[in-house]
Chains A and B, each alone.
Chain A
Amino acid sequence: MLHTVNKSPFQNNALTDCSRYVQAGDVVLLLEDGVFAAQAGTTQSALLEKMMEQVTIYALSADLKARAIKALVAGVQVTDYAGFVELVEQHKIHSWL
């Protein structure tokens, strides 16, 4: 499963909710305001670290750059639109709107 999260974790529970339904081996892609979760040293970092014990987490580079997010929680991988398309090809998707 590919889970996409596009809401800021500081304003919305989408990422926390998502974390309850992931299975080992799933992939989570942070995009749009979801990328704020990827910033290192926030109140959400522990949640991401916990999730990464089970799943791979990607953040979309265009959204990171647009929001000046440079220091990422260790382990978060950065992908671009082409990588996004590849993830979509490889998985079934659930959008945590």
Chain B
Amino acid sequence: MAEEVKKIMFTVRKPPHGSIYVYEGLEVKLIMAAYDADISVVFMDDGVFAVKRGQDTKELGIKGFEATYGALVDYEIQKVFVDRQSMESRGMTEEDLVIIGEDEDTEEPIRPQVVDASEIAAMMAEQHNILSF
């Protein structure tokens, strides 16, 4: 009998670069994507800073990971969400968000989907596991 595909959500609530959480979390997502799981990622609270476009980490002497977000769709991680209130309260708009891939047919860039906290809460309740970073 086929096993039920696990629904696994990653929540990202920390800003990037000040700690290793966001980077390590991204590594885990890419690893998990190799397995047959239904993965979703939610950037909420200070986590929205992690998906702001134009991060230049050269002077920090670290590689940065904005480009890696651009490969999420290629890794079949398409369910990527941003909490609207967290984004707006930090002075960001949808245009500020990183690109996570491009549409196969139209080659249009794909950005994370902006949703409300109530939608996130409903999605959380549907998961088998939630990992927070």
Q: Please list the residues of chain A having a beta carbon within 8 angstroms of any beta carbon in chain B.
A: 1, 13, 17, 20-23, 92-97
Contact = CB atoms under 8 A, between A and B. Distances in A.
A97 to B, nearest CB: 5
Nearest to B128: A92
A91 to B, nearest CB: 10
Given A20-B85, A21-B117, A92-B130, 6 more contacts: A1-B124, A13-B45, A21-B44, A92-B125, A92-B129, A94-B130
B132 A97 contact: yes
A17 B132 contact: no
Interface of B: 11, 13, 44-45, 85, 117, 120-122, 124-125, 127-130, 132-133
Given A13-B45, A94-B11, A23 B122 contact: yes
Contacts, number: 35
6 contacts: A20-B117, A21-B121, A92-B128, A94-B124, A95-B132, A97-B133
B14 to A, nearest CB: 8
A23 B121 contact: yes
Contact of A1 (B13, B85, B125, B132): B125
A43 B129 CA distance: 33
Residue among B44, B121, B122 facing the most chain A CB atoms (10 A cut-off)? B121
A94 B129 CA distance: 8
Nearest to A25: B125
Given A13-B45, A96-B13, A97-B13, A23 B117 contact: no
A22 B124 CA distance: 10
Contact of B45 (A17, A93, A94, A95): A17
